[in-house]
Every structure is written in C-alpha cells, then in structure tokens.
A and B are shown apart, each in its own frame.
Chain A
Amino acid sequence: MNGAQDMGGQMGFGPVVAEADEPPFHAEWEKRALAVTLACGAMGHWSIDASRHARETLHPLDYLGSSYYEIWIKALEKLLASEGFVTDDELRAGRALVAPRTPNRVLHAAEVAAALARGSPSERPATQPARFAVGERVRTANEHPAGHTRVPRYARGRIGRIEQVHGAHVFPGTSAHGLGEQPQWLYTVAFDGRELWGRAADPSLTVSIDAWESTLEPVA
C-alpha cells in the first residue's frame, strides 16, 4: 500500500541525527515491547509480513508521529485483537476479561536461544526455473496494490538489471493477508540513480531493491 512507511525519496524530514554511544533501548517499555512482539509472533498465528502490514496500516499521522517501538506495540495490539487473543475492552481495562483463545504455541524461556538462532527462513524449494538471469534487464511493474507490497514507490515502473538471484522466497503480497506463502523467485535488481531520480541524480549512485518475480517484467 502507498502508506507512510514507504519513505524512499520523501523530503522534508530533516538531518539524520545519530546518538553517540547509543544504548540498545531508551526505556524499560521498549525492552518489553520488543520481547512481547517476538513472543506473540512465536505463537504462530501471523507472518512477519502480516506484522509489517499491521504497522504500515496505522494512519499516516500516527505512523509518522510514533517511535519504532510505539509502532510495534500499536500494530501488535491490532494483530492480537484481530486474531481474537485480546479484546478492545481488555486493552482499555488493562486486564484479562475473557477466556483466551488457545495459541498454536507458547514460547518458553528455555526455547528462546534456539528460536532466535533459528529465525524464520523465508526461502522455499523452487518448483520452477527462475525466469530471469543475472545481467538481464527488467522493469518493475507499476502497480499500486491496496494491500501489502515490498516494491517501494520510488522503484516502480523503472528499468534495472538483475544482479543476484536468491532462490524462491515467501511472497509478502499473499503472506501478509493470510493467503499462503506462494513462494516466488527473488532477485536483487539494481537501478542507475538517474533511472530513479532523473537528470539531477548523483551520477555515481546505484540503488538496488530485492524484488519478487511477479513484480518484474522482461525488457526487450
């Protein structure tokens, strides 16, 4: 979706401000926000793509006015409510009011190290050969889906070159919406800066995205 999350090329946000010797967290609640988000994800009821979509569907004013972990918590509350684990009344009351839905899994402390070290690989066995090869020219589809997409606006309808082929990976466009993994070949596609930003672009710039096969078209 063309939401506030799709920031590449937007202007007016000001300088990048780095903090010296930055700690991993800036408040106790940030630690808990990270941990509950990961632990709830481990219940196995939504994909990382659905999490991202829950975040990007925050109202743009809310998204842009929220810190990273605030966005996570607001999205997690939405997912928990939509999956029937927590009700709006409970969030208002700050305590459990109704019996819980039984989750697929509960992450236990003894399993944390192994679960994090394993992660959630997105590569799947390929069922057909890759359509594109390294070096080939492709155009990204100029599509503006209302649902989840990982093609940023700045790189839509642009001609680039296949630089790497990564195997078949879970497709976020379906995975985010409970429509299955539907793996597709994934490619790194590199674009000349001028193709993305026009004649005033930095002539020394190349930008790549990682793009799934259905979002690419051959260029004759």
Chain B
Amino acid sequence: MHDHHPHHPHDHDHDHHGSELSPMEARVRALESILVEKGLVEPAALDAIIDTYETKIGPRNGAKVVARAWSDAAYAQRLREDATAALAEFGFSGRQGEHMVAVFNDRDTHHMVVCTLCSCYPWPVLGLPPVWYKSAPYRSRVVIDPRGVLAEFGLQLPAGKHIRVWDSTAEIRYLVIPERPAGTDAMSEEELAELVTRDSMIGNGLPRSPERRA
C-alpha cells in the first residue's frame, strides 16, 4: 500500500505544469514502463490484448448468435441446453465467458443482466462493457427498480410482464436472447443480426424493428 497518491483523480489536476499527460495517463505509463523494464510484461503482448478488444471481440459476436437462434430452432435448443458449447460453434469462448448461460425473452418474461459487485460481463459475445453498465447508477438500481432503469433507456414494458434480473455474482455469464421482432420472417440470418443491438443482449433495450434498421 502506498499513500503518496491523493485519492481523488481530480486532485492531481494542479500538477500538470503544462504537461499534456493526464494524471492517469502518467500513472499508467509509469507503471507500464516499470513492468517492461523488469521483464514482467511484453509490450507486444499488451498491444495484442488491446487489438483483440478493439477490433476482434464485440457485440457483433453476440448479434450473430442471436440471429442464429432466431433462424435455427435446433441451434436455439443447443443454446438453451449448453450455451458455452453453442457459442464455441462460432469460436466465441474464453475470458469472461468461460461458463455461459443464455436466457430467452418471451411474451411473459424480460431478462436483464447486471453485476452489482463489480462489472462482470460476457466479453466473448459482447466485448468490453459500456461505462453505464459499470456505473453506480446501473449497478445499484437495476436490482430494485428495473422499470425505472428501463424507462431511462426509453423502454416501457407492460405492467404484467415479469422482469427477471440476473446478478452475475460468480463466473457464470449471461447473454439475453431477445424476442425476434415482428415482420422479419423473410430476413436472412445476416440481415437479422443487423437488428440485434448490444443493449438488447443485456436487457436494457429491444432489437431494432426491421423498418428502423440502421
């Protein structure tokens, strides 16, 4: 433990002296250079990790899975029975998705996912979590007032609809399979994937309707 850092990030602001580095930029650079100097981390490995989450892994992965589940009843069944294995059919596996469960919205139930204790999130299918998912407002409220949270995302569910919130308190990660929008019978799997938003796979949104396809 060290006590030389003032504890609020903004406390550092007066230390800039014209430097363009923010306090956290300077702090992380210093840490990285110590670790590299000591041979504990390899810079190229850091670049490879960043590249993975910037360009290779993101919510388009999950959208492909949802579109397949909508198009292929046998696949949907495999996803229900063993989501980890069903996702591996796409090559989606690994860190923060080692043990996956898919939860299916239907006429009666709307699912929402949170991690109140940290910010657990299914990285292989959704990428890194958005800031709001990691934020105190979401983590504190979705378990007690999910309809209030949904309203802030512009979503009003019927009063009788059952809301099922999954607090990710272990290493099980949850993927919401939203309901297939009406009017999409003729669409291909690729077209369907375009309707699947990240938020619809967390539970704070619904898929796009076909006429509003981005």
Task: List chain A positions with a Cβ less than 8 A from chain B.
Answer: 5-11, 13-19, 22, 24-29, 31-36, 38-40, 43, 48, 52, 55-56, 59, 61-62, 64-70, 73-74, 76-78, 80-82, 85-86, 88, 90-92, 94-96, 100, 103, 106-109, 111-113, 115-123, 150-152, 154-155, 164, 166, 169-170, 172, 186, 188, 190, 196-197, 201-202, 204-212
Neighbour of A16 across the interface among B1, B30, B135, CB < 8 A? B135
Are A61 and B8 closer than 8 Å at their CB atoms? Answer: yes
Residues of B within 8 A of A92 (CB): 2, 4
Residues of B within 8 A of A103 (CB): 40
**Cβ of B161 under 8 Å from chain A:** yes
Ranked nearest first, the 7 interchain pairs of A and B with the lowest CB-CB distance are: A8-B116, A94-B30, A210-B170, A100-B38, A109-B44, A35-B46, A119-B94
Are A40 and B40 closer than 8 Å at their CB atoms? Answer: yes
Residues of A within 8 A of B130 (CB): 18-19, 22
Which of B21-29, B62-70, B71-79, B183-191 is near enough to bind chain A?
B21-29
Q: Describe B's contact surface by its main secondary structure.
A: mixed
**Cβ of B54 under 8 Å from chain A:** yes
Are B34 and A32 closer than 8 Å at their CB atoms? Answer: no
B3-60 CB contacts (< 8 Å) to partner A: 4-5, 7-9, 22, 24-35, 37-42, 44-50, 52-54, 58
List the A residue with the shortest CB-CB distance to B110: A204
Q: Considering the chains assembled together, what is the distance between the CA atoms of A192 and B91 in angstroms?
A: 36
- Extra 8 A-B pairs, beta carbons < 8 Å, given A15-B137, A205-B163: A32-B50, A38-B95, A62-B7, A68-B134, A77-B31, A80-B35, A95-B34, A188-B166
Residues of A within 8 A of B145 (CB): 202
List the B residue with the shortest CB-CB distance to A172: B170
Are A31 and B40 closer than 8 Å at their CB atoms? Answer: no
Task: List chain B positions with a Cβ less than 8 A from chain A.
Answer: 1-2, 4-5, 7-9, 22, 24-35, 37-42, 44-50, 52-54, 58, 91, 93-99, 101, 114, 116-119, 127-128, 130-132, 134-141, 143-147, 149, 152-153, 159-172, 199, 204
Neighbour of A107 across the interface among B41, B95, B165, CB < 8 A? B41
Q: Describe A's contact surface by its main secondary structure.
A: mixed
Q: List 22 A-B contacts (CB under 8 A).
A: A6-B116, A8-B114, A10-B136, A15-B152, A16-B132, A27-B22, A29-B22, A34-B49, A40-B35, A52-B118, A56-B117, A56-B118, A88-B1, A100-B40, A108-B42, A109-B48, A112-B45, A113-B48, A118-B94, A154-B143, A166-B99, A172-B170
